[in-house]
Amino acid sequence: MLAVGLLLAAALLAGGLRYFESHFSPARRAAELERENAALRAAVDRDRLALEMEKATRLELEKQLGELNDKLKALQAELVFYKSQGQARP
Protein backbone atom coordinates (compact mmCIF):
# COMPACT_ATOMS: atom_id res chain seq x y z
CA MET A 1 0.00 0.00 0.00
CA LEU A 2 2.87 2.31 0.81
CA ALA A 3 4.42 1.62 -2.59
CA VAL A 4 1.18 2.56 -4.34
CA GLY A 5 1.03 5.78 -2.33
CA LEU A 6 4.62 6.60 -3.21
CA LEU A 7 3.98 5.87 -6.89
CA LEU A 8 0.87 8.04 -6.82
CA ALA A 9 2.76 10.85 -5.08
CA ALA A 10 5.62 10.58 -7.60
CA ALA A 11 3.16 10.64 -10.50
CA LEU A 12 1.39 13.68 -9.08
CA LEU A 13 4.70 15.40 -8.48
CA ALA A 14 5.87 14.67 -12.03
CA GLY A 15 2.55 15.83 -13.47
CA GLY A 16 2.63 18.99 -11.38
CA LEU A 17 6.18 19.70 -12.46
CA ARG A 18 5.27 19.29 -16.13
CA TYR A 19 2.23 21.51 -15.69
CA PHE A 20 4.32 24.17 -13.98
CA GLU A 21 7.02 24.03 -16.66
CA SER A 22 4.52 24.26 -19.48
CA HIS A 23 2.49 27.09 -17.98
CA PHE A 24 4.78 29.08 -15.74
CA SER A 25 8.33 28.52 -16.89
CA PRO A 26 10.46 31.64 -17.36
CA ALA A 27 11.37 30.64 -20.92
CA ARG A 28 7.74 30.34 -21.91
CA ARG A 29 6.88 33.63 -20.22
CA ALA A 30 9.82 35.30 -21.97
CA ALA A 31 8.62 33.99 -25.33
CA GLU A 32 5.10 35.29 -24.63
CA LEU A 33 6.49 38.69 -23.69
CA GLU A 34 8.63 38.78 -26.83
CA ARG A 35 5.57 38.03 -28.98
CA GLU A 36 3.58 40.71 -27.18
CA ASN A 37 6.46 43.16 -27.55
CA ALA A 38 6.67 42.47 -31.29
CA ALA A 39 2.93 43.03 -31.66
CA LEU A 40 3.13 46.29 -29.71
CA ARG A 41 6.08 47.48 -31.79
CA ALA A 42 4.12 46.75 -34.97
CA ALA A 43 1.17 48.71 -33.61
CA VAL A 44 3.43 51.64 -32.70
CA ASP A 45 4.99 51.62 -36.17
CA ARG A 46 1.54 51.50 -37.78
CA ASP A 47 0.27 54.35 -35.60
CA ARG A 48 3.42 56.40 -36.20
CA LEU A 49 2.97 56.05 -39.96
CA ALA A 50 -0.71 57.00 -39.69
CA LEU A 51 0.25 60.07 -37.64
CA GLU A 52 2.85 61.14 -40.20
CA MET A 53 0.30 60.76 -42.98
CA GLU A 54 -2.24 62.77 -40.99
CA LYS A 55 0.30 65.55 -40.40
CA ALA A 56 1.18 65.70 -44.10
CA THR A 57 -2.50 65.77 -45.04
CA ARG A 58 -3.21 68.52 -42.51
CA LEU A 59 -0.31 70.63 -43.81
CA GLU A 60 -1.53 70.24 -47.38
CA LEU A 61 -5.09 71.15 -46.38
CA GLU A 62 -3.84 74.21 -44.49
CA LYS A 63 -1.92 75.28 -47.59
CA GLN A 64 -4.99 74.83 -49.77
CA LEU A 65 -7.11 76.75 -47.26
CA GLY A 66 -4.66 79.65 -47.34
CA GLU A 67 -4.73 79.71 -51.13
CA LEU A 68 -8.53 79.62 -51.19
CA ASN A 69 -8.73 82.41 -48.60
CA ASP A 70 -6.38 84.55 -50.71
CA LYS A 71 -8.52 83.89 -53.78
CA LEU A 72 -11.68 84.72 -51.83
CA LYS A 73 -10.21 88.04 -50.68
CA ALA A 74 -9.23 88.91 -54.24
CA LEU A 75 -12.70 88.05 -55.54
CA GLN A 76 -14.35 90.04 -52.75
CA ALA A 77 -12.18 93.06 -53.59
CA GLU A 78 -13.10 92.65 -57.25
CA LEU A 79 -16.78 92.44 -56.33
CA VAL A 80 -16.52 95.63 -54.25
CA PHE A 81 -14.87 97.34 -57.21
CA TYR A 82 -17.60 96.26 -59.65
CA LYS A 83 -20.33 97.28 -57.22
CA SER A 84 -18.75 100.70 -56.78
CA GLN A 85 -18.55 101.10 -60.57
CA GLY A 86 -22.22 100.24 -60.91
CA GLN A 87 -23.27 102.77 -58.28
CA ALA A 88 -21.21 105.57 -59.85
CA ARG A 89 -23.22 105.41 -63.09
CA PRO A 90 -26.29 107.64 -63.23
Euclidean distance between CA atoms 17 and 72, whole angstroms: 78
Tell me if 18 is assigned to some domain: no
Domain of residue 39 covers 26-88
DSSP 1: -
Q: How many domains does the chain have?
A: 1
Looking from the CA of 9 toward its CB, the CA atoms found within 13 Å total 6
Residue 9 lies in a domain: no
Q: Please list, in sequence order, all residues whose beta carbon lies within 8 angstroms of the beta carbon of residue 21, skipping any fewer than 6 positions away.
A: 28
CA–CA separation, 59 and 5 (whole Å): 77
What pLDDT digit, counting tens, does each position of 8-27 carry? 888 888 887 787 777 677 88
pLDDT in tens, 40-79: 999 999 999 999 999 999 999 999 999 999 999 999 999 9
Does residue 2 lie within any of the structural domains?
A: no
